[in-house]
Amino acid sequence: MSGFLLFLILSLVTPGTTGSQHRDSIPDRQLLGMAVDYFASGKYHEALVLFIKLDKKYKLNPRFIAYTGVCYYHEQDYAAACRYLDKAIPSLDIYSPAERVVYYNAAADSHFRLEEYAAAIPMYEKLTLVCRKEEKADVLYRLGFCYMQQEKWAQAAETFASSAEYYKAFTPTGSEARVRQLDNIIKGCLQKVANYKTKGGVLQCKTPPFIIPYEMPLTAMLYRRLIYLHRH
């Protein structure tokens, strides 16, 4: 066998460079640029792989820490999303409201899905300050449920009332049913307030708080709530 033919055979069976090996040869500055490009184009899994790699090697700045948290949010790893976003958000006030909306929403929704309502409340409150007026009704709607879970019935009623007003002012078409539902929720919250009695300077509730499943349709939740109130 000639030397040239042997070389040709060996070159055909020798493993090529894998994608991982190729990334390992790319300078870190370029990897960061790739991660940001993936993030901007909605390829969150690909971006997350690179952000994690870089975070292990360097101390990423708060903005990239927040990017990582948002990636985890889209991967539905809400606990990891909270870890990264909660760490980064206090340092993100210098960025535009449009950018901070993304971080606050991901953090608030992650805490909500984990049923960490006390932690979700300040994130939703931040979100109300930077979101667009057309978005505020939905944000207040979620915030109201957080207050309900904390048994802060008066705050919940006030927040739901604000949500209804924003629906009527900025998304009047198609929100009529939601506004009617909110009216019923407000009545339920106010009835809860009326059911409290003062005892030794501490407000005591006569009835247990409601558990509000995240994905439960609002109409079904209201139906169960109203039946409960009528029976008690």
Q: Domain boundaries in the chain?
A: 26-187
Q: Is the pLDDT of residue 7 over 70?
A: no
Can you give the length of the chain in residues? 232
Mean pLDDT lowest among 29-33, 60-64, 215-219: 215-219
Output the six-digit token pair for 218: 């609002």
Which has more pLDDT, 227 or 201? 201
Cβ–Cβ < 8 Å for 167, 179: yes
Round to the nearest angstrom and report the end-to-end CA distance of the chain. 94
Phi-psi category of 43—alpha, beta or left, where left has phi over 0 and alpha has psi -120 to 50?
beta
Q: Which two tokens stand for residue 180?
A: 């009617």
CA 220 to chain centre: 24
* Average pLDDT taken over every residue of the chain: 79
From residue 79, alpha-carbon distances to 86, 112, 115 in Å are 11, 11, 11
| pLDDT at residue number 171 | 85
**Residue 25: band (very low, low, confident or very high) from pLDDT cuts 50, 70, 90:** low
Which of 229, 140, 141 has its CA nearest to residue 193?
229
Cα gap 59→90, rounded to integer Å? 17
pTM of the model: 0.73
CATH topology of domain 26-187: 1.25.40
pLDDT of residue 26: 76
